[in-house]
Amino acid sequence: MTSKGFRIGGDLEVRRLGFGAMHLSTEAGPARESSLAVARRVVELGVTLIDTAYLYGGGANEELLAEALYPYPDGLVITTKVGVARSGPHGEWKLDGRPDVLRTQVEQALRRLRVERIELLQLHRIDPETPLADQLGTLRDMRTEGKIGRVGLSEVTVAELDQARQIVDVASVQNRYNVLDREHEPVLLACEHAGIAFLPWRPVAAGTSGELAGIAAVASEVGATPTQVLLAWLLSRSPVMLPIPGTARVEHVEENLAAGELHLTSAQYAALDRLHQPT
């Protein structure tokens, strides 16, 4: 583990500042061409962790990344998520962690991403209608089969993380977290204690005018954008923190990744830290 790198599961080396692909348009035409260019620029800039999910277009986002980046450069990790399906009464999206659904989604992801193994596969949400042992047992079995390298979770509590770790080794947790929204602080601390990667989604805070003014003040001091300051704060917050900011614009990708070179003083970090008002 270094200031710029982290080993997910103890052995999968990635750069700590990754990329979330959710916002990339998969529609045919200029928007798709722009998305392909963004994905390629992300890798050119040295990102080694890209996050996607079956939910993002029913697999279309996975296909887009494969089109943009396959054959993949050495060291690039594309993590995807399963466990949400169009299995509602009227074909709407709902949590679905039934073993056959998870297995099918993993198999489809392997095909769409054009790989034989997904190095990090995350359960998008825990399905309350399916026993957790069935959900994680399926992913554990597919790991044994060599189709999954490591298993991660998303939007879990400390209790759920503890329960999950009795069933399978958990390599990552992807929960909502930013400087103003720290509902999952206990989960972050649990991950830090166990050496589990923590991938904050919605890493850029949206706050009140006073809070945003405080962020802007620090940004002005360091000559950076508010977004860069927020990402730098996350990287300073914990050594297991792996932010995955997403955007559909090349210039924003370049801006976000420059945050990895931004160093906050202890006073600036503390000023940002104080903006959070615990509930």
Per-residue pLDDT, 1: 46
Homologous superfamily of 5-204+239-246? NADP-dependent oxidoreductase domain (3.20.20.100)
Nearest partner of 243 among 192, 213, 194, 203, judged by Cα:
203
Q: What is the pLDDT of residues 29-47, one digit of tens each?
A: 999 999 999 999 999 999 9
CA–CA dist 178, 12 (Å, integer):
25
Least confident span in 47-56, 204-213, 251-260 = 204-213
What average pLDDT is seen over the chain? 95
Note the pTM of the prediction, 2 decimals.
0.95
Tell me how far apart the alpha carbons of residues 177 and 7 are, in angstroms, rounded to a whole number: 21
* Rounded Cα–Cα distance for residues 119 and 190 (Å): 23
Q: Is the pLDDT of residue 204 over 90?
A: no
Token pair for 152:
């991660």
Q: b/e string for 162-189 if b means 16 or more Cβ within 10 A?
A: eebeebbebbbbbbebbbbbbebeebbe
Name the β-bridge partners of 59. Answer: none
The set of catalytic residues is 56
Task: Kindly report which listed range (138-142, 149-153, 214-218) carries the lowest average pLDDT score.
Answer: 214-218
Cα separation, 142 vs 190, whole angstroms:
26
pLDDT-above-70 percentage for the chain = 97
Domain spans of the chain, in order of start: 5-204+239-246
| CA–CA distance, 272 with 27 (Å, rounded to integer) | 38
Q: Indicate if the pLDDT at residue 139 is higher than 60.
A: yes
- DSSP conformation class of 98: -
Q: Is the pLDDT of residue 238 over 90?
A: yes
**pLDDT over 70 at 11, yes or no:** yes
Mean of pLDDT values over 137-150:
98
pLDDT tens digit string along 239-254?
999 999 999 999 999 9
| pLDDT surpassing 90 at residue 237 | yes
pLDDT tens, position by position, 78-131: 999 999 999 888 889 999 999 999 999 999 999 999 999 999 999 999 999 999
